[in-house]
Chain A
Amino acid sequence: MENLKIPATKYTLEVNLNAGTGILEMFGSSYPENAIDFFQPIFDWIKKYLTENPQKIVLNLKINYLNTSSAKCILDILEILEQYYKEKNRDVSVNWYYAEDDEDTLEMGEEIAEDTEIPFNLLSF
C-alpha cells in the first residue's frame, strides 16, 4: 500500500502516513473552511490500511492549533483507531506532543486522552 504524504500549508497539517512502519504523523495548524474536504483522504487511507491488519500503529500528533471542525476530524481518526484497537487487540498508541509553555495544546491532549481507550502519551518538547 502506498504511503500518504501531504505537505503543510499555513492552514492545513503536514501529514505522513507510512504503511510500512505503521507510523502516522500529523504536524502543524489546521483551520480550513471545510475540514472534511482535507481529512477525507486521511480517513480513507487509514480505513484501507486497517484492512491490511497491521500489527502496530503509532499516531504522532504535534499540533499547534486546530479549529473546532478540525478537532472533530482528529477525534474521528481516534475513533477509527480505537475500534481497531479494541476489536483486533493490536498494539496501537498515540503520542501527543506539546511545547512546554503551550498549556492550550496540553489541555487539548488531556481532554482527548480522557475519552479514548488507546494508550495515550502526553510528551512535552
Chain B
Amino acid sequence: MKREILLKFEGAISQDTLVALAENVKNKLSQRGLNPVIIKKVFAIFIELAQNVYHHSGEKTIFKKSGKRVGRGSIVIKETAEFYLIETKNLIENNKIQSLGEHCDYINSLDQEGLKQLYKEQLKKPRIPDKAGAGVGLIETARKSGYLLRYEFKPVNDLYSYFFLSVRVKKE
C-alpha cells in the first residue's frame, strides 16, 4: 500500500482551525471502522502536535481582532500499510534547537514506565508563567505512540531552522 494522505494543513493553526481539522480527523478515522483505541491515539497525538505548533512555532500570524499570536506550520496525517504517521513541520529559533533536541532524545531513551513517571512528574510541576502548555505534549505523544519520536532540524538562516517531527501509531 502506498502512502495515503488523510489530512494536510499548512498555515496558522488557530483554535477554530484546529477544531475543524480535529473533527475531520475523527470522522475520517471513524469511517474506516478502526479500533476506537487507535482512533483516540491518533486524535490525541494530532491535537498535541498541532498545539505545539500553535504555541512554539517560530513563525506566527497575529490576529488583530482577538490579539492572538498563532503559530504557523504544517501538519499531515498519512496512512501506510502498518502505521498512521502524524507529522509536523514548523520554524524554530536556532537558540531553542539544543534544548528541544535534548528533550526529544531524553524521551526516546525512556521505556513506557519511564515515560509514565516523567509525565506524572512534569504534570505536577508548578506552571511557568506565560507558558500555556503543560510542558508534557511530547511525553504524552511518545506514550501514545509507543515508538521513537523521529525528528530533524534543517537550518534556514542565522535565526531559524525547520523542525520536522514524525510520530507513528501502529494500526493493529
Indicate whether A and B interact: yes
User: Chain A: residues with CB nearer than 8 A to chain B?
Assistant: 10-11, 31-36, 65, 67-69, 71-72, 75, 101-104, 111, 115
Given A33-B51, A75-B123, A115-B120, check contact A68 B136 (CB 8 Å).
yes
Residues of A near B23 (CB, < 8 A) are 10
Do the beta carbons of B133 and A101 come within 8 Å of each other?
no
Which of B40-48, B79-87, B101-109, B162-170 sits within the interface?
A: B40-48
Please give, as numbers and ranges, the residues of chain B lying within 8 Å of A67 by CB-CB distance: 44, 47-48, 51
Tally A-B pairs: CB < 8 A.
66
A68: chain B residues within 8 A (beta carbon): 48, 123, 133-134, 136-137, 140
| Residue B19 interfacial (CB < 8 Å) | yes
The residue on B at minimum CB distance from A114 is: B120
- Closest B residue, CB atoms, query A37: B132
**Inter-chain contact B132/A31, CB cutoff 8 Å:** no
Q: Which of B40, B47, B137 contacts A104 (CB 8 A)?
A: B40
* 17 A-B pairs with C-beta separation under 8 A: A10-B19, A11-B15, A11-B22, A33-B15, A65-B40, A65-B44, A67-B48, A67-B51, A68-B133, A68-B140, A69-B51, A69-B132, A69-B133, A102-B37, A102-B40, A104-B44, A115-B124
* Distance of A102 Cα from B41 Cα, bound (Å): 11
Smallest Cβ-Cβ distance to B36: which chain A residue: A101
Complex contacts, A69 vs chain B, CB 8 Å: 51, 132-134
Q: Looking at the assembled complex, report how far the CB atom of A3 sits from the nearest CB atom of chain B, in whole angstroms.
A: 27
Assuming A33-B55, A71-B123, A75-B124, what are 11 further A-B pairs, CB within 8 angstroms?
Answer: A10-B19, A11-B18, A11-B22, A33-B18, A36-B127, A65-B40, A68-B133, A68-B134, A69-B133, A71-B134, A115-B120
Interface residues contributed by chain B, number (CB under 8 Å): 29
Are B19 and A11 in contact, CB atoms less than 8 angstroms apart? yes
Shortest Cβ distance from B72 into chain A, in angstroms?
14
Query: Is B116's beta carbon under 8 Å from chain A?
Result: yes
Q: Mark B127-146, 1 if CB is under 8 A from A, else 0.
A: 10000111011001000000
Question: Which residues of chain B from 9 to 67 have any CB-CB distance to chain A below 8 Å in the complex?
Answer: 14-15, 18-19, 22-23, 36-37, 40-41, 43-44, 47-48, 51, 54-55
